[in-house]
Structure formats: C-alpha cells, structure tokens
Amino acid sequence: MSVGERTRVDCHVKVLNDRVIERARRAGIDVLVYAPHFVRLPDIRRRAAAYSTDAVTVVPAREVFTGSWRDRKHVLAMGLEDPVPDFITLEGAMAEIERQNAAVLAPHPEFVSVSLTEDDLRTYVDTIDAIEIFNPKHLPTHNRRARALARDLGVAPFTSSYAHLPSSVGVAAVEFAEEIDSVSSLTAAIRDDVPRRVTYNNGFRRWKTTAAELAHLGYENTWQKIDRLLLSGTEPTHPDHIFYDGRFDDVSVY
C-alpha cells in the first residue's frame, strides 16, 4: 500500500501473474490496473482479486475495443459496474461508460490504427477524464504529440507500462497525491483530477522495453491471431454473445 497518502499507479497492464506482482512491488508500484483484451469484466475482477496482495492492489478495468477491425479505437474504462462488450461503435461505448459514471481514459492517442484521434478527443473532451502522455510502445514523436494533445485540450495526463510482458512493469507510473486502494478510490481520483505526477524511465531500460513491446505487437497482430480472435464471432466479449442478452444489438458493428 501507499505511504504518506501518496500512491504510485501503473494505469494499464495486459499481463498478470506472480512475476508481474513481484516486479511491481520491487518498482514501488502500489496499484496495477489490469485490463486484458477480449476478457469479460467478471473474469477480470476475479483474476485481479486473486493476485492482489498487501503490497500491490490490482484494479480491474476494461480496454474496450470499439469499432471494427479495420476502424478500431481503444477506450480504457475504469469503475464499470456492468460489462461492456467489444465491437460496438465508439459512440455506443462512450454513452454506456458515461451512463455508468465510470472513468474514461484515452490510451496511446493517435498511435497506429488502434487509438482515438485528435478529432475523437475533441468530440469527447467533456467525457474523457485523462489522456496518456507516455506509453513505452510510443516513439518520442508519439509521446510529444500525446503531451501536446493533453495540454491543448486541458485534459489531465496519465501514463502506464502498457505491459504485455512482465519485464515492462515499472517503467512508468502515475503518483497520485492521496491514498488509493480500490477501484472506486482510483476511479474517483481520476474523475476528480486529483493532483498527480507522471513518471517514467527514459533511459536504456525504456528503449529495451520499447523494442520488446513492439516486437510483441508484431506477433499480436499476425493474421493468424486476427482470424482466431476477431473474425470468428465467438469471442467472450462479442456483443452478440448470449452473455450480453442483446443489450448492445443497436450499436454492434458485426
């Protein structure tokens, strides 16, 4: 847990195991936000609870995969009460997240073809609570662009390790000026613009992390995986799945 009512948070990881928790502890990370792709919220919650320790609290979240594979945009939602599927329109996702009074974060803005654009950010500037200004997958030009967008739009910043690999955990964190120990307290801190300091490693370790994560991104986006995860129509987070009981039929893109 945090000391002296200051909390270091890694705001977005994709991988969670004992090695991740130990790396977070050694890096002084108090809270990890766990938001894997294509996993339902109840399952994320159970895994987050199973791996939380006295030293590291794991907070469940959803990075919603909006749109189709050809026009996809990621939105990070924290503090959801009800599950939100992937493959729904950006408008539908934003409306549902806002309905639930969850925190809305814009991860890796304008990065390749999986991110909110400047136009998207401007359209939803009153809904978005934070914009990611440093991501290890970014090159320096991407991070400069992200910082400029957050500054120009007057939206609070955040960062994360965006760890798809355990070795990435600890490369970046947000230090909030209050104690945070649950999904509700973190959601409130983000929505209330609690004072924070964005910290990240920009030396050799940062570049080693960038190289490893970009290599993993290449693997993740092979056509074999696209076919298996996205085009089969049987993903656990597909809006047509019986789990969602037809609630998102009007905003489904598949």
Distance CA 85, CA 249 (A): 11
Sorted by sequence, the CB contacts under 8 Å of residue 9 that are 6+ apart come out as 29, 30, 31, 32, 33, 173, 174, 175, 176, 180, 186
What pLDDT, on the 0 to 100 scale, is given for residue 223?
Answer: 45
Specify the pLDDT at position 112. 78
pLDDT at position 192: 97
Reported pTM:
0.89
Contact 177, 6 (CB under 8 A): yes
pLDDT in tens, 114-150: 899 999 999 999 999 999 999 988 888 999 999 999 9
Return the CATH fold of 7-249: TIM Barrel (3.20.20)
Query: Can you list the residues of the chain whose pLDDT is less than 70?
Result: 1-4, 203-207, 209-234
Cβ-contact 12, 161 below 8 angstroms: yes
pLDDT of residue 226: 52
pLDDT of the residue at 224: 44
Paired residues of 159 in beta bridges: 134
